[in-house]
Structure 1
Amino acid sequence: MSQHTATHRRTVAATAAAAAALLAFTACSTPSTGTDPAEAAPGVTDDTVTIGTHQPLTGPAAAGYSSISAATQAYFDYVNENGGINGRAIEYLVKDDGYNPATTQTVVRELVQEDEVFAILNGLGTPTHTSVLDYLNQNEVPDLFVASGSTSWNQPDKYPFTFAFNADYVVEGAALAQYAVDESPDAVVCLLGQDDDFGDEVVEGAELVLGEGGLAEVQRYSVSNQDVTAQIGAMQAAGCEVNLLATVNGFTALAVGTAAKLGYFPKWFSSSSGGDYPTLVGFLGEDLAPKLLQGFTSTNYLPFSPDGEWTALFRQINDEYNDGAPFDGNTVYGMSVGYLFAEALAAAGDDPTRQGLVDAISSGDLVGNGILPLSFGSDSHAAYLGVGITTVDQGVQDFVGTTYALEGDEVATVEAEPVPLEGEGIPGAE
């Protein structure tokens, strides 16, 4: 086990305890089913597999992320029209939690107890998904490919039914800090981060490279306060030259825009969670964004290059099955999640069970469509342990050819290994 994961488990103890308290009445009223997962397959019929998710369709995270589930649905529509997986169509139930943990608990219980879904897929958000983590595992519901970079999802002994999707925040923080050191070795490096595990873990990763206290200034924000003037002003006063961002897209744009108003123009290095250029353009405007985001640096682990074969397929699916919605990093993310679930379902066989689905992922045989191999295995529920570096140049965001992986507590430069497109993007297709 890597040290960064062990460290995080200590830091989330309070969060987990709070979530357990919130779920206490649920655990009492809805105990584990007691059924053998090999004998029960809720949500599965001869013709369909029904799964569900909680997403912020409204609330503080909606502007940056509400389009993800629509992209996943569009991918499933494409698969279903082409015969489904093992002859079954995928039905995807999306429920809005408003990025509110209490609402997340309500909608996830509805999905499990009333809708009887086969699995939960890509539930979004660290605080929101933490609130249902115990419940899903106690009830032996596959909790797949969580939409958050928290290392909480990689605890196979404690949470055997939960699997990550994002590269974790420690990996991203370490990669951003390493790129800052490699490109600007004498720069003053600082960080603006969300005031939760997201910010904590990016700091943790950055300090693996910079050393404890190596960040000259660390400022935190709350998603409930749409004003970061004080934080950006403090970073300007501290002489910060490279600012790492543990921010969601809306707060990335807010930070960049606020700095510009203050006449402050540092280099911005963002986590993938807040680094999607088309989404940022939506916040900053088409006139201002290209100027403020020239040279903007971010991490990614998915195939979003403008001339890539996966991008071409996903753009086609978006046009045909998603009402021509704007095509951006959220589109690629949502469809990549759908592809990985389809791959896992295909591997689970003609008569899928919940345990069989978990076993298929834990086998380590899944490939996904990322730029690096997946890390799933019997003792790892992490997805990607490395990321590529992207930059924005003249309004185009693409990989620069630098890829980092976290090996233990050391950052290593590695070669990207993009997964080629096969079977028209449908697992099991000939």
Structure 2
Amino acid sequence: MAVLTAGLALAQPAVAADPIILGNTAPYSGPASAYGTIARAEEAYFKMLNDAGGISGRPIEFLSLDDGYSPPKTVEQTRRLVEQDEVLALFSAVGTAPNIAVQKYLNAKHVPQLLVSSGASRWNDPRHFPWTTSFNPTYETEGRVYAQYILKTKPDAKIAVITPNEDAGRDYLKGFKEGLGPHADQIVGEATYLTADPTIDSQIITFQQSGADVFFAEATPKFAAQALRKAADLGWKPLIILPTVSNSVSAVLEPAGLANAAGVVSGAYLKDPGDPRWADDEGMRAWRAWMNQYQPGANPGDILNVSGYTAAQLMALYLERCKAELTGACLVKQAQSLHDEVLPMLLPGIRLNTNPDDVVPIRQLQMMRFDGKSWALTGDVFGD
């Protein structure tokens, strides 16, 4: 088992050497702009590494471009990063549909598409896409965990579920229905939405009328917040489940109104900065010191800052292990060779493992409930 620590002690400024150029696309604008926080955190983490001397004396140049969560824009920006900026790899590009739009292109070019910030199952297909690896647990795995939780806590539930009309939503729904098994007929309301839609109010009204007492709101932050607000406005009080991609206190629960979010449950694999149990945790203390120094204006309650920090730590591990053999092929090899790695902001019991046939590093989740102020972990760790 390997343990990677944050390492905030600063050495001399980064030496003048050929930079390691990493590319990224993220939605700094548009309906999914909350996810831009992930890339900002990654940029700040690499700034810390550069201040400490970089990787083997080489600074990291992180080129992150806005794609507005629009696949055509992702294609344009990715081509720029590959053909003009000549990046070594794409790292942690955000979103399912945006990454799908460039997956074949990057694999044909033999440019690594590493630690994709999405849990779609297609990132775990090294046979057809050997240059692609993921970061998040797969949406199918997450969907199955939520179904198991419902069957354990509300076995007679009447369930409503909304998903985006894209691969991510279909993956979540597939895993969710597989987890329900013969109880899938307890779904009494099912709907989709488009990222460009202004609201999902009509779907929430239909769900209330269906008599559902459990609501799986598998939605991006903007729509997840809308769902919580609309349910409260209607006086509809089901058990609401949010996906890991939309359980940020600052990006989802605060815009929805904390009172409206009380009792919501979700899955977790990262330590929540708002959970008092981590007040004296060594990893959390290092994270807060990094936030204070490198992201003084960022929201310390936003779990997306923890996500970006952790993904950047893992990318740095790949770079460090390649050393002098810093090629795209070496990075992919490292991404396929994790064994019981532990990062400081992962929940206890969650370890990273990959192999050439399974390139999903995070395969476990723990359930948590929002008490109106912060998330509180409940139960055991689920998953492989």
TM-score normalised to the size of structure 2? 0.89
Paired residues of 2:27 and 2:67 also in contact (CA < 8 A): yes
Q: 2:380 is matched with which residue? A: 402
- Choose which of 20, 45, 51 in structure 2 pairs with 1:49: 20
TM-superposed deviation, 1:216: 2.2
1:107 aligns with 2:77: yes
Q: 2:317 is matched with which residue? A: 343
Q: 1:41 is matched with which residue? A: none
Q: 2:135 is matched with which residue? A: 165
- The count of residues paired between Structure 1 and Structure 2 equals 357
- Choose which of 315, 320, 325 in structure 1 pairs with 2:298: 325
CA distance in 1, matches of 2:78, 2:72: 10
* 87-96 vs 395-404, which moves further: 395-404
1:301 aligns with 2:269: yes
Paired residues of 2:163 and 2:219 also in contact (CA < 8 A): yes
* 46-55 vs 275-284, which moves further: 275-284
* 120-129 vs 390-399, which moves further: 390-399
Q: 1:69 is matched with which residue? A: 39
Q: 2:9 is matched with which residue? A: none
- Choose which of 61, 66, 69 in structure 2 pairs with 1:91: 61
Q: 1:185 is matched with which residue? A: 155
Q: 2:255 is matched with which residue? A: 283
TM-superposed deviation, 1:402: 2.5
TM-superposed deviation, 1:113: 0.7
1:118 aligns with 2:92: no
TM-superposed deviation, 1:259: 1.3
Q: 2:179 is matched with which residue? A: 209
For residue 219 of structure 1, what is the amino acid of its counterpart? A
CA distance in 2, matches of 1:251, 1:138: 35
- Choose which of 229, 234, 238 in structure 2 pairs with 1:257: 229
Q: 2:202 is matched with which residue? A: 230
TM-superposed deviation, 1:303: 2.8
For residue 252 of structure 1, what is the amino acid of its counterpart? A
Paired residues of 2:142 and 2:175 also in contact (CA < 8 A): yes
Report the secondary structure of 1:52's partner residue.
strand
Paired residues of 1:57 and 1:96 also in contact (CA < 8 A): yes
Report the secondary structure of 2:204's partner residue.
helix
In structure 2, the CA distance between the partners of 1:309 and 1:218, relative to structure 1 (3 Å rule), is farther
Report the secondary structure of 1:132's partner residue.
helix
TM-superposed deviation, 1:331: 0.3
CA distance in 1, matches of 2:191, 2:249: 23
CA distance in 2, matches of 1:80, 1:228: 43
* 73-82 vs 127-136, which moves further: 73-82
TM-superposed deviation, 1:186: 2.0
TM-superposed deviation, 1:46: 4.2
For residue 301 of structure 1, what is the amino acid of its counterpart? Y
1:272 aligns with 2:248: no
CA distance in 1, matches of 2:196, 2:335: 36
1:376 aligns with 2:354: yes
* 143-152 vs 390-399, which moves further: 390-399
For residue 162 of structure 1, what is the amino acid of its counterpart? T
CA distance in 2, matches of 1:353, 1:125: 25
Unaligned segments of structure 1, at least 5 residues? 1-44, 407-430
CA distance in 1, matches of 2:38, 2:197: 24
Report the secondary structure of 2:237's partner residue.
coil
Paired residues of 1:304 and 1:310 also in contact (CA < 8 A): no
Paired residues of 1:53 and 1:93 also in contact (CA < 8 A): yes
Q: 1:220 is matched with which residue? A: 192
CA distance in 1, matches of 2:340, 2:149: 29
Paired residues of 1:303 and 1:310 also in contact (CA < 8 A): no
CA distance in 2, matches of 1:313, 1:399: 21
In structure 2, the CA distance between the partners of 1:46 and 1:356, relative to structure 1 (3 Å rule), is farther
Report the secondary structure of 2:69's partner residue.
coil
Q: 1:175 is matched with which residue? A: 145
CA distance in 2, matches of 1:80, 1:365: 27
CA distance in 1, matches of 2:134, 2:282: 25
CA distance in 2, matches of 1:196, 1:360: 30
Report the secondary structure of 1:384's partner residue.
coil
Output one character per residue of 1:275-317: Cα deviation in whole Å (capped at 9) or x when no partner. Answer: 1122224423xxxx22111111111222335314333222221
Report % sequence identity: 29
For residue 297 of structure 2, what is the amino acid of its counterpart? G
Paired residues of 1:343 and 1:366 also in contact (CA < 8 A): no
Paired residues of 1:343 and 1:368 also in contact (CA < 8 A): no
Output one character per residue of 1:328-357: Cα deviation in whole Å (capped at 9) or x when no partner. Answer: 111001101100000111111233111111
For residue 369 of structure 2, what is the amino acid of its counterpart? T
Q: 1:13 is matched with which residue? A: none
CA distance in 2, matches of 1:310, 1:235: 41
Output one character per residue of 1:234-293: Cα deviation in whole Å (capped at 9) or x when no partner. Answer: 111111111112111111110111111112121111110111122224423xxxx22111
TM-superposed deviation, 1:190: 2.0
